[in-house]
Amino acid sequence: MSPEQLMEKKAKRLTIYVGETDKWRGKPLYVALLETLRAQGAAGATVVRGLAGFGAHSVVHTATILRLSLDLPLIIQLIDSPEKMDQIIKTIAPMVGEGLIILEDVEVVKYTHRYLNPLPRDKHVSDVMTREVVTLMDTMTVAEAWDIMLKNLLKALPVLNDRGEVVGMLTDEDLLDRAGLEQRLSVAERLDEQTLNAEFTTLQSSSLKIRDVMTSPAVTATGNEALSVAATRMAEQRIKRLPVLDEHGKLIGVLSRVDVLMQVISEEAKRRAAKAPDGAARTLREIMLAEIPTIHADTRLAEVVSRFLEFGTRRLIVNDDEGSPLGLASDDDAVPRVPTAARRTV
């Protein structure tokens, strides 16, 4: 199961005590147990070889030089959710003819996948954030805010008060939900001028101010904060942009999901797909993707991110070896896999 799922609840630790010479259908029992646990979808398992020990028959087994061939004790441990453990125990219990199986409650403090730690450890938020920031004042009207969003093609902007403090974030979703906007920015930027003007006129008739519809308070980061910590906050809060503050609480930049993802791919892969032409679309042929955005189910994270940027899309179709679709991968799936403890390369 994923780190996020395991961290959300109490977990169980399963410990299995067997002998090194124990067999299951012609192979070492510990090997058979590991294969079975993996097939059951366990989060992971570890086998530890004991130096010495004795069991129910009071026979001491030791790993001294003169007696290396004796049946040494093995300990197999795994941690997973209670639901998964119930399934696992039913499967492996018949395999342990002589030995001991115990189950304990544990609290998971931290759990990350080693192979999905792509962020460099020495990077700070200020190293990768966007410094040129378009901002809004909380006293502006929703029509003024929408006009700025359209002109800059930015769907989320920090909101400041008259003291220059960040008091919230305004997104096109906020305008959709609370100000009567008809469509998201990604759709609006492809509409014809007549349609845009009609909607802008409707917004101008509203007395709503930005402070009335913005998301507040804003979730923020500091410039000297570790990038991995800020990325984790974005994943936990399910947000795509963080206003970045200096030591005095003043806005110095914005950290976006793209800023984070760009750190896990090579320089040559940092390119975006060209925007679709402006103007109203009339048929599906005009708006469909000529090249289908697909990835293989075993594609590495760095290449997945590269494909997101290449196609300029938020979702990729995941195919199996035969090219049949298995599901969808979204950029929402990528960022939660950037943990606090980070490595330089994928």
CATH code of 100's domain = 3.30.70.120
Average pLDDT along the chain: 81
Kindly write down the DSSP assignment for every residue of 50-83, as one continuous string.
-SEEE-TT--EEE--GGGTTS--EEEEEEEE-HH
Q: Tell me, what CATH number does 142's domain have?
A: 3.10.580.10
Distance CA(220)–CA(133), nearest Å, equals 14
160 and 27 assigned to the same domain? no
Q: Which residue has the higher pLDDT, 281 or 206?
A: 206
Nearest to 131 by CA among 229, 218, 231, 250: 250
23 and 123 assigned to the same domain? no
Q: What is the pLDDT of residues 283-329, one digit of tens each?
A: 667 667 667 788 888 888 778 877 777 777 778 899 988 888 898 88
125 and 253 assigned to the same domain? yes
On the question of pLDDT at 61 being above 60, the answer is: no
Structural domain tally of the chain? 3
44 and 21 assigned to the same domain? yes
156 and 43 assigned to the same domain? no
Residue 169, pLDDT score? 96
Report the phi/psi class of residue 327: left, alpha or beta, with left for phi > 0 and alpha for psi in -120 to 50.
Answer: left
Task: Please give the C-alpha separations between residue 340 and each of 96, 117, 136, 226, 311, in angstroms, as whole numbers.
Answer: 38, 8, 31, 9, 28
Distance CA(103)–CA(106), nearest Å, equals 10
pLDDT tier at 66 (50, 70, 90 boundaries)?
very low
| H or E segment to which residue 5 belongs | helix 3-7
Task: Please give the C-alpha separations between residue 236 and each of 3, 12, 120, in angstroms, as whole numbers.
Answer: 12, 23, 20
Contact between 9 and 81 (Cβ < 8 Å)? yes
On the question of pLDDT at 252 being above 80, the answer is: yes
How many other C-beta atoms are found inside a 10 Å radius of the C-beta of residue 118?
25
Q: What is the pLDDT of residues 76-98, one digit of tens each?
A: 999 998 888 998 999 999 999 88
Kindly write down the DSSP assignment for every residue of 255-279, as one continuous string.
EEHHHHHGGGS-GGG---PPPPPSS
Q: What is the pLDDT of residues 154-167, one digit of tens each?
A: 999 999 999 999 99
Percent of the chain topping pLDDT 70:
78
Print the domain residue range for 65: 3-111
Nearest to 220 by CA among 194, 246, 183: 246
